[in-house]
Structure 1
Amino acid sequence: MNDLEEQLKKLFPDHKVSNEPEFVEETPHELFVQAAPILCKYEKRKGKPTTIISDYEGLDEDFKLLAKEIKSKLAVGGTFKDGEIIIQGDYRDKIMKLLQDKGFKTKRVGG
């Protein structure tokens, strides 16, 4: 290990070693909150109930983060595909409450 330190000192003689760990403050990512409501609909696909969340106007990356958060908070499976979040099971009420707590307007579609 000392050999590596000596080599680095030779390469960078002006560098001063700091023993303090670097601390980078992370700011939480802000989601784009749109004026139009996000649609939350119920469908049966291949005989199984699914909840589909669509009509998000922000970036796909933001929608993917939202999908990940919904799946982890509800402990359910799902995917992000073609601009929609597809959640396994009928969780419209819980998802709508979660979205409303984040400041989104929601609209229930179907059943």
Structure 2
Amino acid sequence: MSLVYSTETGRITPEKEQAQRPKGDGIVRIQRETKGRKGKGVCIVTGLDLDDKALKLVAAALKKVCGCGGAVKNGTIEIQGDNRDKIKDYLVKQGHTVKFSGG
């Protein structure tokens, strides 16, 4: 239960909380996922400890490298199709440590 009103200060508005992204361990993980996508696979890139603007730039570069679409959602990059090898090659050239995760 949270405090809503105080006789000393009046109405108390809750402080806005920023969405906390989990801090990575320095390893970028690439996984392939088809669940909930009607059988269409996407590659999900997690572990990039970047702000939203930089993450969108990396996503745009990955989409160009792979020649397909994608999106940035909740601090992860989703690239359409099974392009794990192309994504790994690009990220290794950029100086990241990359691992495949999942099936």
**TM-score, normalised via structure 2 length:** 0.70
Report the Cα offset of residue 73 of structure 1.
1.9
Q: Does 1:63 align with 2:71?
A: no
Partner of 2:75: 83
Share of identical aligned residues, percent? 37
Unpaired runs of 5+ residues, structure 2, are: 1-23
Unpaired runs of 5+ residues, structure 1, are: 1-33
Report the Cα offset of residue 46 of structure 1.
2.3
Report the Cα offset of residue 37 of structure 1.
0.8
Q: Secondary structure at the match of 1:80?
A: strand
Q: Does 1:37 align with 2:2?
A: no
RMSD: 1.5
Q: Secondary structure at the match of 2:89?
A: helix
Runs of 4+ displaced beyond 4 Å: none
Aligned pair count? 78
Distance, in Å, in 1 between the alignment partners of 2:89 and 2:45 is 13
Give the structure with higher Rg (CA).
Answer: 1
